[in-house]
Amino acid sequence: MRIYPAILVGGSGTRLWPLSRGDRPKQFLSLVSEQSMLEDTIARVAGRADFAPPIFISGEQHGQLLTRMLAALAIDASAILLEPEGRNTAAAIAMAAHWIADRGEPALMLVMPSDHVIADPDLFLAKVEQAVDAARAGNLVTFGVQPDHPATGYGYIESGDALDGASGVHHVREFVEKPPLAVAERYLADGRHSWNAGIFLFTPEAFLGELARHAPDVAGPIEAAMAAVESQDGLSRPDRGGFLASANISIDCAVMEKTDRAVVVPVDIGWSDVGSWDALWTARSKDADGNAVRGDVSAIDCDGNLILVDGGPPVAALGMTDCVIISTAEGVLVMPRRRSPDMKSLHDAHTRRATVLS
Closest CA to 169 of 94, 267, 240: 267
- Confidence band (pLDDT; 50, 70, 90) for 180? very high
Q: Give tens-digit pLDDT for 61-113.
A: 999 999 999 999 999 999 999 999 999 999 999 999 999 999 999 999 999 99
Q: Are 249 and 125 in contact (CB under 8 A)?
A: no
CATH topology of domain 2-272: Spore Coat Polysaccharide Biosynthesis Protein SpsA; Chain A (3.90.550)
Residue 357: CB atoms within 10 Å: 6
Angle, CA 195 vertex, CA 173 and CA 119 arms, to 5°: 140
Q: From the centroid of its chain, how far is CA 354?
A: 29
Q: Are 195 and 85 in contact (CB under 8 A)?
A: no
Q: Are 142 and 199 in contact (CB under 8 A)?
A: yes
Q: Give tens-digit pLDDT for 321-358.
A: 999 999 999 899 999 999 998 998 888 888 887 777 66
- For the cut 80, the answer to whether the pLDDT of residue 171 exceeds it is yes
Task: Tell me what the pLDDT averaged over the chain comes to.
Answer: 94
Q: Give tens-digit pLDDT for 115-166.
A: 999 999 999 999 999 999 999 999 999 999 999 999 998 999 999 999 998 8
Please write down the HEC assignment for all residues of 52-112: CCCEEEEEHHHHHHHHHHHHHHCCCCCEEEEECCCCHHHHHHHHHHHHHHCCCCCEEEEEE
pLDDT of residue 344: 85
What mean pLDDT is predicted for residues 6-30?
Answer: 89
pLDDT of residue 11: 76
Q: How far apart are CA 55 and CA 75, in angstroms?
A: 11
Structure letter (DSSP) for residue 204: H
pTM of the full predicted structure? 0.94
Highest mean pLDDT among 31-35, 74-78, 203-207, 327-331: 203-207
- Sheet strands side by side (includes 332-336): 292-294, 306-310, 323-328, 332-336
Residues in the chain, how many? 358
pLDDT of residue 358: 60
- For the cut 90, the answer to whether the pLDDT of residue 36 exceeds it is yes
Q: What residue spans of the chain are helical by DSSP H?
A: 37-44, 63-73, 88-101, 121-136, 181-190, 204-214, 216-227, 240-244, 251, 277-283, 343-357
What mean pLDDT is predicted for residues 170-184?
Answer: 94
What mean pLDDT is predicted for residues 180-203?
Answer: 96
pLDDT of residue 23: 82
Q: How far apart are CA 96 and CA 59, in angstroms?
A: 13
pLDDT of residue 10: 83
Q: How far apart are CA 140 and CA 203, in angstroms?
A: 8
Q: How far apart are CA 327 and CA 231, in angstroms?
A: 40
Angle, CA 207 vertex, CA 202 and CA 213 arms, to 5°: 150
Q: Which amino acid is at 182?
A: A
Range name among 79-83, 219-223, 231-235 with the lowest pLDDT average: 231-235
Instruction: Give residue limits of the domains in the chain.
Output: 2-272, 277-357
